[in-house]
């Protein structure tokens, strides 16, 4: 996860995304962080099909009872207001 985040922040998001897709997360926080990073990556790279394929995050947040209110709100904000790309 940290390597993928580093790739994202240095402008090599595609390399980080491929690393994220190869890992199976058992920890809820890492899973949510990875999903969020994948969404930002696909948005920044303008990969519409991949973005839509990973848009299941909304359902993940609604169905997962283990998430804190803060995690739910932060993830919902990410879905509504994607950041990282300037207009």
Residue 87: predicted pLDDT: 42
What is the Cα–Cα distance from 59 to 43, expressed in whole angstroms? Answer: 19
Cα gap 21→5, rounded to integer Å: 13
User: By the 8 A CB rule, do 42 and 50 touch?
Assistant: yes
pTM: 0.62
Alpha-carbon gap, residue 71 to 86, rounded angstroms: 25
Quote the percentage of the chain above a pLDDT of 70: 86
Residue written as token pair 């390399």: 15
- Write out pLDDT tens, residues 34-44: 888 888 888 88
Nearest to 5 by CA among 31, 41, 59: 41
């Amino acid at each position: 996860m940290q390597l993928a985040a580093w790739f994202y922040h240095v402008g090599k998001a595609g390399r980080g995304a491929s690393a994220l897709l190869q890992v199976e997360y058992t920890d809820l926080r890492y899973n949510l962080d990875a999903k969020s990073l994948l969404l930002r990556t696909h948005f920044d790279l303008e990969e519409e099909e991949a973005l839509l394929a990973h848009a299941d995050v909304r359902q993940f947040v609604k169905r997962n009872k283990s998430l804190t209110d803060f995690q739910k709100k932060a993830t919902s904000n990410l879905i509504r207001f994607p950041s990282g790309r300037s207009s």
